[in-house]
């Protein structure tokens, strides 16, 4: 069983930075492609950033390019999302997700962490 736990959310002002973390006790992150999703009130969930099991390929949605950085530390079994120059439109619940290497579907999800950016 993969139990993902996010941390690092909070209330910040526009222009500030936050770093989200995602861990899963006993899980080898090297076996998973992973991603950060977010869902704002009354909006659909969107994939913000993703990284393959070996960090060989990374994806960002256009709205966060050059501001967010996803990093998967397989040695520490931790996934990070460094968020800089935060904007009010980044306000959402952020979720960590994992897909086994032999699957294209994110099967495991964390409980989410709230990020609120005030203007």
pLDDT in tens, 86-99: 999 999 999 999 99
Average pLDDT over residues 13-25: 97
**Residue 33: is its pLDDT beyond 90?**
yes
Report the pLDDT value the prediction gives residue 109, as an integer from 0 to 100.
97
User: Beta-strand (E) ranges in the chain?
Assistant: 5-7, 10-13, 18-23, 32-39, 46-51, 58-60, 68-73, 78-83, 92-100, 108-109, 113-118
């Amino acid at each position: 069983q993969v139990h993902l736990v996010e941390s690092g959310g909070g209330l910040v002002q526009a222009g500030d930075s936050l770093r989200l973390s995602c861990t899963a006790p006993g899980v080898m992150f090297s076996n998973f492609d992973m991603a950060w999703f977010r869902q704002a009130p009354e909006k659909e969930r969107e994939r913000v950033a993703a990284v393959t099991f070996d960090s060989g390929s990374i994806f960002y949605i256009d709205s966060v390019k050059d501001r967010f950085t996803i990093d998967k530390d397989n040695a520490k079994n931790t996934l990070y999302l460094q968020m800089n120059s935060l904007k009010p439109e980044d306000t959402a619940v952020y979720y960590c997700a994992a897909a086994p290497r032999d699957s294209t579907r994110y099967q495991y999800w964390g409980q989410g962490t709230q990020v609120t950016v005030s203007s």
